[in-house]
Copies of this chain bind each other. A is one copy, B any other.
Amino acid sequence: MSPADADKSDKNGIEYFHIPDFTLAGGTTLKDVKIAYRSFNPTAPRTVLIPTCMGGRVNSMLNFTSGALRDYHVVVVAMIGNGESTSASNDPHFPSDYSLRYEDCVRAQFQLVTAHLHLSELEAVIGFSMGGQQAYYWAVMHGTGPQPFVRNVVVICGSAKTSGHNYAFIEGPISALETSSDYARGRYREMGVKPVQGLRAFGRAYAAWLTSAEWFRQELWTQFGARSLKEWLYPAEGEAPFEDWDAEDLLVLARMWQSGDVGSLVPAGDYRTALETVTARVLVMPSLTDQYFDAHDGEEEVKHLKKGVFAPIPTIWGHVAGGGANETDTKWVDGKIEEFLSGQ
């Protein structure tokens, strides 16, 4: 679910970096892969990269440019598959076997940062949710050794390895969409149909997970303008979360999310071993009430990080606390990032 209220179709300031040939971890070689991104404050000396989250677009992400990152060059980048960068919805050669992996996203982002933006280091990679998982992949792929390419990593409501519980949760929305009549087992495109009912069901199977029991107890859906819980679950036509997404893009991202495990990057195959190689500083910032990116997993992760800091968000907003859903938590997160980046 997109964290901010920004217009998701806003193409303002978006640029595209093209990679002529790009081989995905699954084996497919794609021609002319495009990576959508936006640069803020490009003349600042230090650069921070922010990859998108599930349901996120370049211009809907929190970018902290009026807070903690006001003095940084901030690059918000669309992960492969999100519909802005190369994706199932815009490249007919995109693999249909859901084999996109986080390491593909990070390899393409590394090319953007080095070959295109000509940077020799990143001050930080900051990500929320699936963006947080990409940040962990950055840490293991480019945050090691005495002079790590990325010096600081901030993981907001993410994890180094997708837990079984998290995997099982996202299988619910996946099942609702895949089984829906208008998704038509993936034939919706050739039939010229937008699977609106399937996309709306995907959103409803997601809804109770986003926040927390206490959030529902306080009926905080009113803060999104809903007059009743039913209205929140069944918004007006065109206004449901994910309703403007391509179904196949959502499924590609959801399957990548399920496969998340930085352990796959090291011979031992264990995420803890992988984290132990990281020399970058890492701020691990789960939400105390997150129902699927469990804060306990973050506590375990910092035990295996050389320079890990654990700072859970004290909130009843669950997962979305880290994505800009309310001003209080956003300020808290912004403050922690500022403190972390200035404390080197």
Contacts and interface: CB of A to CB of B under 8 A. Distances in A.
Interface of A: 163-165, 167-169, 171-173, 175-176, 178-181, 184-185, 197-198, 200-201, 204-208, 212-213, 215-217, 219, 229, 233, 291-292, 294, 296
A171 B213 CA distance: 15
B216 A171 contact: no
Given A205-B175, A213-B163, A233 B168 contact: yes
A171 B233 contact: yes
Contacts of A200: 175, 179
A176 B164 contact: no
Q: Is the interface of A mostly helix, strand, loop or mixed?
A: helix
A215 B204 CA distance: 24
A178 B217 CA distance: 26
Contacts of A185: 181
Contact of A204 (B175, B208, B294): B175
Contact of A219 (B164, B178, B294): B164
Contacts of A219: 164
Nearest to A295: B213
B165 A176 contact: no
Specify how many copies of this chain sit in the oligomer: 2
7 pairs of A and B residues whose beta carbons are closest in the complex: A164-B216, A172-B205, A168-B208, A181-B181, A165-B216, A176-B176, A179-B201
A172 B170 CA distance: 11
A162 to B, nearest CB: 11
Contacts of A167: 216, 229
B217 A172 contact: no
Nearest to A205: B172
A99 to B, nearest CB: 16
Contact of A208 (B169, B213, B229, B233): B169
14 contacts: A164-B216, A165-B215, A168-B229, A168-B233, A171-B208, A172-B173, A172-B204, A172-B205, A176-B176, A178-B201, A179-B180, A179-B181, A179-B198, A179-B201
A50 B204 CA distance: 33
B175 A217 contact: no
Given A164-B216, A176-B179, A181-B185, 6 more contacts: A165-B215, A168-B208, A168-B229, A172-B207, A180-B181, A208-B292
Contacts of A180: 179-181
**Which of A163, A164, A292: most chain B Cβ within 10 A?**
A164
B176 A229 contact: no
A100 to B, nearest CB: 18
A197 to B, nearest CB: 5
Contacts of A206: 172
A101 B161 CA distance: 43
B213 A294 contact: yes
Contacts of A175: 176, 200-201, 204-205
Contacts of A233: 168, 171
Nearest to A199: B179
A217 B179 contact: no
Contacts of A176: 172, 175-176, 179, 201, 205
